[in-house]
Amino acid sequence: MNSPSPTSLLGLDFQELSKIAQEHSQPEYRARQLFHAIYPQRISSIDSISTLPIQFRASLRQRGLEIGEPGIEKKFESVDGTIRYLIRLNDGETVETVWMPEGDGGETGDGSDAAEHDWDRATICVSSQVGCAVNCQFCLTALLGIKRNLSAGEIIGQVTAVLNDRKVDLERQRVNIVFMGMGEPFLNYHNFMKAVRLLVEGVGFPESRMTVSTSGIIPGLERFAEEPVRPKLAISLNAPNDEVRAQVMPINRKWDLEKLMHAARQFPLHNRERITFEYVLLRGVNDAPEHARQVVELVRGIRCKINLIALNPGPGLAFQMPEQQRVEDFQRLLTSAGIPAFVRRPRGRDIYAACGQLKRTLG
């Protein structure tokens, strides 16, 4: 299940690049040039790094090294401006990454390409594994099973490929990253966190503009709590009690709600930071008023907010979308108890790009 051995420079940190420069009898400043070209400049070809001597570039290629940014196999554009990218990795496997623009120009209305900069802000939804092992019953990705972990470079490469495709200038434009695509980031912890550090130190994303979602991998949560640099935390809750959660999220049989909520209460939050609990509403399963009241008691005392997500439908799923009135009633019960609750607007549902719909489809 591990990611392939590295032949790519993307995903290597400065120390690793310095070792490569040293092996090629190059001074250390060449490693700095290499780092700057790969990350802040987002150059995707060794031949295009004009600051490096031609001989050094040729030597890197002879050794079988390349930048290694994954390729965009296909793009699917939604009427709301969302783009689902099918990303092909170097070993032929594929993952999906989603671009979600917001603002006046974010919605084209006709499925055509919006101008690259016709948006106020945007979010990139990034995958961490090929497939997923967690097997949430309301998620199309679960039907794929698990293929392997992504390397740090493959995680970063999704971001840089989309940024380059959309011609984004990070110094002028606001982009957020959510690690909420295919896979469970905390089951690929080392590569996920290495990617986070390089996105911060190299590409130029503040950690405050990143959020990671976990199904509740307790050892990962405990490690994550100790990280000096980390994204904001979202926990996929989806149920008010163990009986319902074990039905829709088998992971609950290993780490139940008592363990999960204890870890959430112990999690050290920065000033003004809140844990986000994500709650996918399933008709007749977890969307009743009594469920909302149980959720209130479950999160009591935790500085949090709750994102409510009406199930995004798809073939092979055994659940149905809730009625809109049930969604509104659920939200009202939470907010009346003093819990910030928001109904997340689905993005890209028509192209299978919405939450829980990613399945490596070609159409």
| pLDDT score at 104 | 61
Element (H, E) at 306: strand 304-310
pLDDT tens-place string over residues 14-65: 999 999 999 999 999 999 999 999 999 999 999 999 999 999 999 999 999 9
Q: Does the domain made of 14-62 have the CATH classification 3.20.20?
A: no
CA distance 11 to 17: 10
**Cβ atoms within 10 A of the Cβ of 39, count?**
20
For the chain, where do the domains classified as CATH 1.10.150 start and end?
A: 14-62
Mean pLDDT computed over 255-274? 97
Asked if pLDDT for residue 243 goes beyond 90, the answer is: yes
| pLDDT score at 2 | 62
Q: Please tell me the least confidently modeled range out of 62-76, 105-119, 179-193.
A: 105-119
User: In the predicted model, what is the mean pLDDT of the chain?
Assistant: 91
Strands (E), 36-172: 71-77, 83-88, 94-102, 121-125, 129-131, 146-149
Mean pLDDT computed over 234-251? 97
Class of domain 71-351: alpha beta
> Nearest Cα to 295, choosing from 325, 261, 256?
261
Q: Is 125 a catalytic residue?
A: no
pLDDT tens-place string over residues 299-324: 999 999 999 999 987 777 889 999 99
Mean pLDDT computed over 216-221? 98
Q: CA separation (Å) from 166 to 60, 114, 118, 130, 322?
A: 29, 10, 10, 24, 35
**Cβ atoms within 10 A of the Cβ of 147, count?**
19
Give SS3 for 156.
helix
CA distance 176 to 183: 19
Q: Is 222 a catalytic residue?
A: no
| pLDDT score at 360 | 55
| pLDDT score at 352 | 58
Asked if pLDDT for residue 354 goes beyond 80, the answer is: no
* Residues in Cβ contact with 30 at an 8 Å cutoff, skipping those fewer than 6 apart: 21, 52, 56
| pLDDT score at 113 | 44
Give SS3 for 94.
strand
Model confidence at 144, pLDDT cuts 50, 70, 90, reads confident
| pLDDT score at 358 | 61
CA distance 287 to 240: 10
For the chain, where do the domains classified as CATH 3.20.20.70 start and end?
A: 71-351
Handedness of CA 155, 158, 161, 162 (dihedral sign): negative
Give me the residues paired with residue 277 across strands. 235, 306
Model confidence at 115, pLDDT cuts 50, 70, 90, reads very low
Asked if pLDDT for residue 195 goes beyond 90, the answer is: yes
Asked if pLDDT for residue 112 goes beyond 60, the answer is: no
Per DSSP, 66 falls in state: B
pLDDT tens-place string over residues 74-100: 999 999 999 999 999 999 999 999 999
Of residues 174 and 113, more confidently modeled: 174
Asked if pLDDT for residue 232 goes beyond 80, the answer is: yes
| pLDDT score at 149 | 98
| pLDDT score at 345 | 85
CA distance 259 to 311: 26
> Which of 125, 132, 304, 355 is an active site residue?
355
Asked if pLDDT for residue 12 goes beyond 50, the answer is: yes
Of residues 217 and 7, more confidently modeled: 217
Do residues 125 and 178 touch, judged by C-beta distance below 8 A?
Answer: yes
Percentage, residues of the chain above pLDDT 90: 83
> Which of 96, 107, 154, 207 is an active site residue?
96
